[in-house]
Structures are given as structure tokens and as C-alpha cells.
Structure 1
Amino acid sequence: MYRVILNHIKSALPLFGTLGGIGGFVADILQPVAPFSNYVFFISLGLTFVLLLVMYARQALRELLVPYLIFSASSMLFTGLLLGLGDDNNKSNGVLASTFPALGVFQESLGLIQKDIEIIKEATEEIKQSSAQTAKNTEKIAESLAEMQKGFSSLTQSGGVIANPERPEQFYHNARIYELSGDYGNARRSYSRYFSFKLDLLDPHLRYQTFLKVQEGRAGALEIYSDMYDMDNRMIVEFARILLFDSKTRIQLLDAFIKKYPDFAPAYYELSREYSPSRKGVQQPDDKKSEL
């Protein structure tokens, strides 16, 4: 009986022993992603122990289980040897890659996977911080709008136009009324008076740009906002001016703006729109990734 088992071991050893060694080799190469050598060693150790118990208790299964025992034992021995040779210098990259530089080069692609994971974690954390900042900005804007709303109590004067406006919300209201009634000269003057208060609210700039693009075209609107930015280079004016450039230039300027003002949430939204189907027409996989 034992001679038969020994013959099975001799016949199965080359194939299953090699497979076990390959498994240990792959586990060591994958060390930058996770400690697979540890996993394979302890799993194969437990499996070897179980197989020995079964073969001892069930003689009829010995011949059948010999290949699996060889595979498990060889994996255990190979990974155990690598773990024994491991130290702090090769713990992160694995023994083989630390010993043979060519294998270290092969691991670079696996290192990129780990790098991408870290980038995703950092991006997630930045989004959390940005969301918190956005909530604070939203509260401030809501408070400002609530104050502006108080100035609309005199809407009945002069057919909806506020006579002798003094507050910014009154000039903004008049600009909208003049615009809707077709009095574009007074509309522009009211917008200019509103912007002289230098409030950090984005919506009035967006409405004014829509008005200017109808009257002057995009190039004319950009020229007007460039003049505004020369006199008032606050963040909100800089951002509004960027929106008037062509798509390619706008993306470059938005990237630079975000690095300069990382807490300004609307910039991230506008940059994501540049890669959306509404702007791109046909969205490529890289565009989808950039949009997200």
C-alpha cells in the first residue's frame, strides 16, 4: 500500500509541486497589493494538516488526496521560506522583488493599482471636506439672500421699478425689471451699480453674462468681464470671467482656479460639466471619469 502511495507521490510531485511553487511565487509578487504570502501560508498549512488527518483516517482516499497534499505542502513550504527570509526592508515589495530588480520592475504596474487606491481615498476625503465647506457657504448665501429679500417691499413703486434704489438687492431687482422690459441701457447701468457693492454672489454674474451674451456676444461679454477683473480681481469675478472662455481654455483656467481656491465648490461643478455629454456630445470613458 505504502509503495503504491510512494509511486503516486513520485508521479504527482513534478506537476503539483511546481504548481504549489508557482502559487507561492505569485503570492510574493502580489505583496504590494496585500500580504498574500501570509494568506497562502496559513491556508496551505491548515489544508495540509486537514489532508493528513483525512488520509490517516480514510485509507481508501489516500491515493486520491496525494496530489492535493503535494500542492498544499509545496505552497506552504515555498511561502514559509519567503516569510522566513522576509524583513522590514522587503516586507512591502516581497522577498523576490527585493532580491531581483527585474521582478521589481514588473511590480510597478501593481504599485500603480495601490497608488490609484490612495488617490481615490484622498479624493474621497477632499470631497467630504468640500461638501462641508459647501454647506457653510450655502448657509452664508441663504443669509445674504434673506437680507436682500427685505428690500423687495417697495416693488409696487413705478410699475415694479424701485425708485431711488440704495441697497444692492434693489439695484439687482431693477436690473432684472429693466432687462425684462427691454430697457437694456438702464439694465446695464443697474447691473453695474449692483456689482459696485462687491458682493460674493455668483447668480447675479451668471444672469448678467446671459444678458451680455445676447447683447454683445460671448466675445463682447468676455471683454467686459476682463475689464471688470482688471478693476476688481476678487475670486467671484475671476471665476465668472473664466466661464466666458472657450472650452479648452476654460478647462485649463478652471484647473488652475481650483488649485488656487480648493474650497470653491462651483468650480468643481463647472469643471465636471466640461466632460458631460451636454458639452462633449459624445462622451468617452476618460470623459466619464473626469466628470465624476
Structure 2
Amino acid sequence: SSTYDGSKMIVAVGGINKPTAYYLFNRNKKQLAKLTDSRPWLNDFEMPQSKIVTYKARDGQELSGILTLPVGKAKNLPLIMHPHGGPIGLKDTLTEMRSDAKVLAAHGYAVFQPNFRGSGGYGLEFLKAGFKTWGTVMIDDMTDGVNYLVEQGIVDKDRMCVYGASYGGYAALQSVIREPDLYKCTVGFVGVYDLALMKKAGDIPESQSGINYLNRVLPDDDSQSPIKNVDKIKVPVFIIQGEEDVRVPKEHAFALRDELEKQNKPYEWMMKSGEAHGFYKEENNVERWTEMLEFFDKYTAQ
């Protein structure tokens, strides 16, 4: 914020490797005074560092993503592939710290956040390449990034799992469907699992603009829905959901759970009342991270 005449401003400074700090800038005096840290409890914490990696997709398209590594380790690591939500127009950048990536890396995992086709910031053609390819080309882009990290010796091909939220939750399931032998487990958080349900439930189809958006970007049929392909899943699934989610209603989680049960597939379950499209209560996030880490550790143990 700033004063009306712009002589004093509150400035936020931060990035993917440094929590945001707030300063008071006096323009007339050209002085900057620190006000507070957003996360002072991390001041003495040795932060896992994140950086950009670039790689080629199988069709030659250049792609990039964010790689976060545990402190002091850079080879033969267990991996969590962590696709972003959205998916259209969003991306992971060096300007924003993702708590999930830092938490997982602090516990020994390499975390890869690919900016697959459909992500923002790479031009209109790249963005439109994500239309209707949610479960095909976009997933292949993620897979190609993971295989690149394996080829570089950064991650251990026998200790890899997937975790994502919203569209990332969809991608977490679709990845183990499309690549049934690549990963050891998967976690879907407030994820989309039934594409047909996307057009009927939740707050997006409540407006004409939302309906137009879904018609433009969703695959033409629901054959790319995880619930239609549960038979291809070979690994344990962990479903996490907020009970009051109106963006991706809990019916998606129930539908996936029902299909897993019907086909005798192993799964774990967490649903929290009072939470919506993402968890906002500290105690629920601590519980979520704790159980996720136990889940990952179980299936990526050497």
C-alpha cells in the first residue's frame, strides 16, 4: 500500500528461496526501513533451494520447471513430481514460494514442478496447446521432465511418487494411469477425477463464462477422467479433500474412492470439515503433511 501522495510505500520483498519481508519506503528521503518478516520462524532455518530446469519434450518442445532439492544433496534422490493447479494460464515461478515443495524437500525429497503445456507465461500457442489435452500431452510433458531428472542422475527411478492439488490432483492420478510402472504412489488433493462432473457441479458451471471456459479447455469426452481408468492404476492412492470445497466438490473424491473400492485398489483417505479448495487451518496442514510424508516414505523406502 502507499500514502495518497506516494511519498511512503509498503514494499514486499521475497522469492522462491526467501520468505517475504515487508519494508517502509520513504520516497522523499530515499530510505528503506524493515517492518517485519512474514515467517520469522524460518529465519534460522536452512531453506531447501529451488531453481529452474529446462528439458525437451518427446516432440522437441522446450519446457521448464522448478526443481527443489534437499540441503546438501543433489544425486539419486527420491522424487515427488508436483504439478501445479489451474491448469490453464498458471505456472510455477521463481517469484513465489510453495510451502508443499519446501516441506517435502526439507524431509529429503527432490520436488519437481513442471510447467507443462497450458501453463501461462510462455505465449498464446503454448497456452492453447493445453486445451483439451489435460490427460494426454500435458501428462506426457510431466513424464518427460521426470525422465530427464532420472537421466541426469538427480533422482532414483525406483523411488518416485506424484502429488498435486486441484488440476494437479487430476494430474497425480492421470500420471499413474498413463505411466503405471513409473511411480510408486500418488496423492490427489482436492482433485478433479470426473471431467463430466466438472460441467455439472461446483462454482465454475454456475456462470455462462465458466461454462464457456470448460467447453473450451476440457477434453471433448470423459475418457480422460481418472474414474474411467482406475483399472490401470497399480500403485496406492491417497485422497485428501476439503468437505466444503465448492470449486472441486467432494463428490469427485467420493467417486474416485468408490471406483478404487469396487476394483479392490489400495487407498488412504482424509477429508476435513471446515476446509474448502485447499486447507487453511494450520493444524490440518500439519496433519496433511505428516500423513503424506509417512505415505511417501512407506513406498519410496530403499
Classify the TM-score, shorter chain. Answer: under 0.3
Q: Whose relative contact order is higher, 1 or 2, with alpha carbons under 8 Å and at least 6 apart?
A: 2
The TM-score, its normalising length taken from structure 2, stands at 0.24
TM-score (norm 1): 0.25
Higher relative strand content: 2
Query: Which structure dedicates a bigger proportion of its chain to helix?
Result: 1
